[in-house]
Every structure is written in C-alpha cells, then in structure tokens.
Amino acid sequence: MVFPFKSVEDFRIELTEEHELFRKSVRDFVESKVMPRWREIEEFNGIPEDLWKEMVSLGFTGVGIPEEYGGQGGGVLMAVIMTEELSRASVALSVTVGVRDLFVVPVLRWGSEYLRKRYVPPVAKGEARAAHANTEPGAGSDVAAIQTQARRVNNHYVISGRKIFITGAGEADYLLVSARTEPPKPDKRWWGITTFVVEREWPGVRIGQQFKVMGLRGEQPYEVILDDVKVPEENVVGAVNEGFKVLMDTYDHARIGVAAQGVGIAQAAFEKALNYAIQRETFGQPLIAHGIITEKIADMYMRLQAARLLTYWAATLADKGRPEFVVAASLAKAYATEAAEWIARQAIQIHGGYGVDFETGVERYLRDAIITTIYEGTNEIQRLIIVRQLLRQAFGLKI
C-alpha cells in the first residue's frame, strides 16, 4: 500500500504547540518589521543591518543548532517553519540566515570536536557569519569536476582556486571550502576531494565580483578567489579525500530549507492572488467568480498545501534520523520549488498588468522561485536522486 515505504507510520508529521508558538512569533516579526520594507530590500539589494541585528537578537541564527554549540535547539522542522515564514516576506532575508546551514551542517556532522566548538557557536549566536564555497566555473551539478587544489605542506594545506555563485561570501567570516587533494581514481570519480574550514581573514582569500542574478535581490552571490591560502590540517572537515561524502550529506540536509523557501514564496503569492481575485471586478463580477480564475485559485491552493506537507514530512524524517529523509528531501525540494514557480506565475496572471509591475510586489515571487529550482542541486539532479533512492529503497539496487 505504501510502497516503497514500510508502514503508514512513515508518513507521520510531528508538529507540536511549540512549533505553532514559534511560527507565530516569526510571523509577528515578519509582518511588523519585514513586509513594510520589501521594496527597500529589493531596491537597495541588501539586507538592512538593523533587520539582521534584530534577527540575531531574536535568536534566529541559532534555530536548529544544538544548545551545546550555542544554538537554540529545535531541530530541522523548527528551522523549516522559520524559513517558510521569513520567505513569505523576503527569500533573500531567509537565505541570509539559512546559508549558515551549508557551513554548520558539515562542521557539526563531520568536523572534529575542536572545529565544532571553535566555529559553530559564533555562527549560532550571530557573532560570525558563514558561507559554503563549492561551485566553480566548470563544476556545479558535477561536484567531482572541481579544480581547486589543496597541496599538503608539512602540517598544513595550501589551497588555490576560484569559486563562483557563493551566497553570503561578502559578509562571511568563515567559509566551508572544497578542494582536490588527490586526482580521482578510475573507478571512483568522487575520490580525492577534501573539505576545509577557511577563515576569511587568512592571507590569500579574496572576495571577487558580486553576481547580478535575476532574483534574491538583497542576497546576491559572490566570486571567491583562493590564492595559496595556508590552512592548518586541523581545519579539515571529515576524512581527507572523502569530502564528496561531506558535500552530498550537507546538500541532503540543507535542501529541506530550500523546499521551505518554496513554501514561503508559494504562500505569499497565493495570498496576494486570492485577495486580488476577491477584490477586482471585471464584467460585473469579482475575478474569483469567473470559472477559469476559480480553477486557478483551487489549483494554487492544492499545490501549496501538498508542497507544505512534503516539506514538513521530509523535516520530520530528518529529525528522526531516518535514512528515507534523503528521498523525502529531494521530493520536497523539487515539488515545493516548482509549485512556488507555478503559483507565482499564476499570481502574476491573476493580477493582469499590475502583476508585472514591480510596485505591486508580485513579479518578485517568480524571480525568486526560479532560483530555488536551481541551487542546492537543480531539480533535474533531484529527479536523479529520487530514482536512485527509489531503486535502492525498493530493490536494494545501486545505480
């Protein structure tokens, strides 16, 4: 009945009153402090410093990080709820906080206790910021194609290379950097990559151009240049030459956050479209009374709630440490971000000419949604993961 899962119990989503109280508190902040300033974020193309400070003082930078490492605790589901609510107002703002997952997840799950104690608490408390530098001009989806080199010299490594599209690099104090320590083996393309914690202030680290991508105004990614950067050996995260595993595990976890961004965008676009469809009259009737618009609203609502349920389900499985969370995360990421893109497109159509006008604040949802279908593993790559996991789960096959 529930093939390839074992039991209906596997579909349980565990939400509590604590989750709801937290959701309300994030929503209060968003509605009073962020929504009135969406234009400023878009036009200034940055997150106002006072909003960042307020998020730090509210403890948002520590949500989902264990208390023993300076965080607020709360797990993946709590972080998903925060991301969804922040994204409802500004995806860029949610990414400003959420990008830390791409640093904190690998350090907590694969780093030594020394690395965990040294680097996670400042990020959790908002005293330091972090980014994740993997993508290169010749390597995005194909992580094993990275060219950045790390040479071992005595008790340290020397890293040189160029990374692109690095979110949050302009403000980051710490970077999780991937580099080649050995060539790949003929039967193991993934072999030979190592991941490191690199401090922004170390000689040879340079933040280059800022990209001008179509959405995420307020949090545009950067180029990072590493020129003979000397990194102590204790800053290796995970096993030497096995950094590919660290990276894949990090994306498996962090992509649940991208699904939550999709849910937040979809929610915002849906609410705007619904309100407009009730208020706007054409041919003597509100838009929502015209059959084609009624159907659009129903379909938007269906996809929104399905996206939310998949995302909460993936987060629940991750919090329980269940291996099936990997397929759930990919299902949620691909579905929720495509639902966001589709719902944002319908919201524009329902607004007619106003929908494509910047001032109405609707077209930005589509610009943001498209990006969510690309980063942290494109949705084409999610489909590959989904089928691989399905074959593994159902038949024990590895492809």
Ligand X SMILES: Cc1cc2nc3c(=O)[nH]c(=O)nc-3n(C[C@H](O)[C@H](O)[C@H](O)COP(=O)(O)OP(=O)(O)OC[C@H]3O[C@@H](n4cnc5c(N)ncnc54)[C@H](O)[C@@H]3O)c2cc1C
CA 87 to chain centre: 11
* Packed helices 17-29 and 75-89: angle between N→C axes, nearest 10 degrees: 30
Q: Considering 136, 219, 223, 376, which one is annotated as catalytic?
A: 376
Q: Which of 64, 75, 126, 140 binds ligand X (CB under 6 A)?
A: 140
Task: Give Cβ neighbours of residue 3 (< 8 Å, ≥ 6 apart).
Answer: 394
Binding segment for ligand X (CB under 6 A), chosen from 46-54, 131-139, 279-287, 387-395, is: 131-139
x/- mask, ligand X, residues 146-165, rule CB under 6 A, reads: -------------------x
Task: Establish whether 376 is a catalytic residue.
Answer: yes
Per DSSP, 6 falls in state S
When asked if residue 373 is in the footprint of ligand X (CB under 6 A), the reply is: no
Q: Which of 207, 213, 274, 306 binds ligand X (CB under 6 A)?
A: 213
When asked if residue 371 is in the footprint of ligand X (CB under 6 A), the reply is: yes
- Give the residue from 67, 134, 59 showing the smallest Cα distance to 97: 59
Which helix (DSSP H) or strand (DSSP E) does residue 209 occupy? strand 205-210
Q: Which of 132, 180, 200, 272 binds ligand X (CB under 6 A)?
A: 132
When asked if residue 374 is in the footprint of ligand X (CB under 6 A), the reply is: yes
> Computed from CA positions of residues 356, 360, 366, 368, in that sequence, does the dihedral angle turn out positive or negative?
positive
Q: Compute the distance between CA of residue 252 and CA of residue 269 in angstroms, rounded to an integer.
A: 27
Hey, what's the torsion of the CAs at 26, 29, 35, 39, to 10 degrees? -110
When asked if residue 216 is in the footprint of ligand X (CB under 6 A), the reply is: yes
When asked if residue 378 is in the footprint of ligand X (CB under 6 A), the reply is: yes
When asked if residue 166 is in the footprint of ligand X (CB under 6 A), the reply is: yes
Residue showing tokens 């838009």 = 287
Kindly state the number of chain residues that form the binding site for ligand X, as judged by CB under 6 A: 21
CB of 142 to ligand X, least distance (A): 6
When asked if residue 339 is in the footprint of ligand X (CB under 6 A), the reply is: no
CB of 385 to ligand X, least distance (A): 11
Residue showing tokens 């690998």 = 106
Which helix (DSSP H) or strand (DSSP E) does residue 386 occupy? helix 379-395
Which residues are identified as catalytic? 376
Residues that bind ligand X (CB under 6 A): 131-135, 140-142, 165-167, 213, 216, 221, 371, 374-376, 378, 380-381
